[in-house]
Amino acid sequence: MKILITGGAGFIGSHLTALFLDQGHEVWVIDNLLTSSRKNLDQALGEPRLKFIQADVSLPDSLSEIRNTGFDAVYHLASPASPIQYEKYPLETLKANAFGTYHLLELIRHRPETRFILASTSEVYGDPLVHPQTETYWGNVNPYGPRSCYDEAKRFAEAVSYTYLKKYGADTRIARIFNTYGPNMEKEDGRVISNLIVQALSGSPLTVHGNGEQTRSFCYVTDLVEALAKMAEADIRGEVINLGNPNELSINRIAETIRDLTGSNSEIVHRPLPQDDPQKRKPDIAKAKRLLGWEPKTNLENGLKSTISYFRERFRL
């Protein structure tokens, strides 16, 4: 297959790029490197089946080089994706998900054979009133707050995808991605697991927001990209599917596990809870099991060991 991945130098995108190259496909990556790094593609950049274009997908001219290129699948992952990133780049986040989604769908509008996979997020559920979260839940989202640039941008991207599906017959599929971790995370991206690992390895206090009893469900990145690959392979036109690990743990438990695995003596300290921070987050993945034949395989301890090794080696911690 010939596959386009926007945000392909990012955390998840780089793993998806590597997976498709390993499977023998031709991969085109568009990334403006705003919150990602070419280092994530170091092992792949010499591969003749990889073409890298540094461009901002929210700008229409960024697609001029590929306008006449037919793709079997288009993955739209380009967007700041952690609280620190999208609070630093709120307009870029809005534009990547709004204009970027629109431009890509225009690109494939007359190519009904192309499968478009939108990387949406569990953040469309907001601070959920339904637990665990199923794809039929509409969410509890604040449209006017510090997280709205990301939450509402993704909800808009889903709406655009739905509109192209119904109006033009585009083959759109939506992956609602829950918390994911693993190698190629950035050191200062503000995600829970990267924060705690960096703090533990550097001997700093482990910061936990609120009382730490809020819960998350963390999926190891190689499991997640396996599911994303299946999103293009399966006959699931128009489907919305949760992708994540349903193993739900408190943030306190995560912090304690990371401290134990790193051998750190850092104390755990509590900080005020950020505005609109969800209290619970757990995916219902029955649909992914049924339609994709997928469920995560990596347990948290093994995934954390691999991620800790990555941070030690890449950032010399």
Residue 95, SS3?
helix
Three-state SS string over 30-71 comes to EECCCCCCHHHHCCCCCCCCEEEEECCCCCHHHHHHHCCCCC
Across the strands, what pairs with 4? 28, 74
Contact call for residues 260 and 50 (beta carbons, < 8 A)? no
Contact call for residues 9 and 29 (beta carbons, < 8 A)? yes
The residue assigned the tokens 């709205």 is 148
Active-site residue list: 150
Give the separation between CA 303 and CA 294, rounded to whole angstroms: 18
Q: Label the pairing between strands 215-217 and 248-250.
A: antiparallel
Contact call for residues 46 and 75 (beta carbons, < 8 A)? no
